[in-house]
């Protein structure tokens, strides 16, 4: 029913986790299967959009109709998104980007010690950067374990977004690694929409319909 309603639109989607290395065999990462972002990419492509999918390392197949840009670290994701953003009409930041990266990465594998300290520094916030010079419709995700509505609404304002999609990652059987999710959508114009538990595919369709109706 939504056939081709995104024809001619260029949609940039980020998905998956990032990896922040501190030696050649070790890294820090976030929990993310990439399923939500890949479902968005698949649905957008089915609806006729040209999809650019910037993805951290995941174990699932990319939708064949999307252009896949694989990245590893938050810094690589930042560079790729900055390069592709000019071409996008819609940007959806679904990736679980690491908020911190090791200050240094050792050239050789670090030998085992009783304890060690890794200094972490904040990564560049890609979404906030996009919000500063907003040209495309901009949607972000918020994953929280508490105060979800308040944190999501704060982010919507602070990062200058058009829409934020919030999911409670403490809820059992949905979210991480699951094919299911449940989300709340908060829009810049104050509208709120609660989408109850459903497959990530179905939710992706509903989220893109909301975006379609907001541009
Ligand atoms: O503030 P917080 O990191 O919780 O915001 C989450 C949103 O910001 C997500 O859409 C995520 O993709 C994005 N993000 C980002 N760059 C970062 C951290 C988060 O684009 N370094």
Mark the binding-site residues for CTP, compressed into ranges: 99, 109, 141, 155, 159
Distance in angstroms (rounded) separating the CA atoms of residues 41 and 30? 20
Mark the binding-site residues, compressed into ranges: 99, 109, 141, 155, 159
pLDDT score at 46: 97
Atom number in ligand 1 closest to CA 14: 12
pLDDT score at 48: 97
For a mutational test of ligand 1's pocket, the pick from 94, 101, 132, 140, i.e. the residue with the most ligand atoms closer than 8 A to its C-beta, is 140
30 is catalytic: yes
pLDDT score at 177: 78
pLDDT score at 151: 96
User: Is residue 189 classed as helix, strand or coil in its secondary structure?
Assistant: coil
Q: Which domains does the chain have, with CATH numbers?
A: 10-105+116-214 (3.40.50.10300)
CA nearest neighbour of 185 among 125, 128, 137, 140:
140
Check if the beta carbon of residue 199 is closer than 8 Å to that of residue 180: yes
- Sheet harboring 10-15: ordered strands across? 67-70, 50-55, 10-15, 90-93, 137-144, 163-168, 180-187, 192-199
ipTM, two decimals = 0.92
pLDDT score at 169: 86
- Residue tagged 């105060």 (tokens): 147
Q: Which of 30, 43, 167, 181 is catalytic?
A: 30
pLDDT digits (tens, 9 = 90+) for 123-157: 999 999 999 999 999 999 999 999 999 999 999 99
Cβ count within 10 A of residue 14: 31
**For ligand 1, atom 2, which residue shows the shortest CA distance?**
142
Check if the beta carbon of residue 181 is closer than 8 Å to that of residue 198: yes
């Amino acid at each position: 029913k939504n056939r081709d309603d995104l024809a001619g639109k260029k949609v940039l989607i980020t998905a998956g986790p990032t990896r922040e290395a501190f030696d050649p065999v070790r890294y820090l990462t976030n929990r993310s299967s990439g399923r939500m972002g890949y479902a968005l990419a698949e649905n957008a492509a089915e609806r006729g959009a040209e999809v650019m999918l910037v993805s951290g390392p995941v174990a699932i197949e990319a939708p064949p109709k999307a252009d896949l840009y694989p990245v590893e670290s938050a810094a690589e994701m930042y560079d790729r998104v900055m390069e592709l953003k000019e071409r996008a009409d819609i940007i959806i930041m679904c990736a679980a980007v690491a908020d911190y990266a090791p200050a240094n990465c050792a050239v050789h594998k670090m030998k085992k010690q009783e304890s060690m300290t890794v200094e972490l520094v904040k990564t560049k916030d890609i979404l906030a950067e996009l919000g500063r010079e907003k040209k495309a419709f901009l949607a972000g995700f918020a994953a929280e374990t508490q105060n979800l509505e308040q944190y999501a609404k704060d982010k919507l304002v602070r990062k200058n977004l058009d829409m934020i999609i919030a999911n409670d990652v403490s809820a059992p059987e949905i979210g991480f690694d699951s094919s299911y999710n449940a989300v709340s959508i908060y829009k810049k114009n104050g509208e709120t929409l609660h989408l109850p538990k459903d497959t990530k595919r179905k939710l992706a369709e509903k989220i893109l319909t909301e975006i379609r109706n907001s541009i």
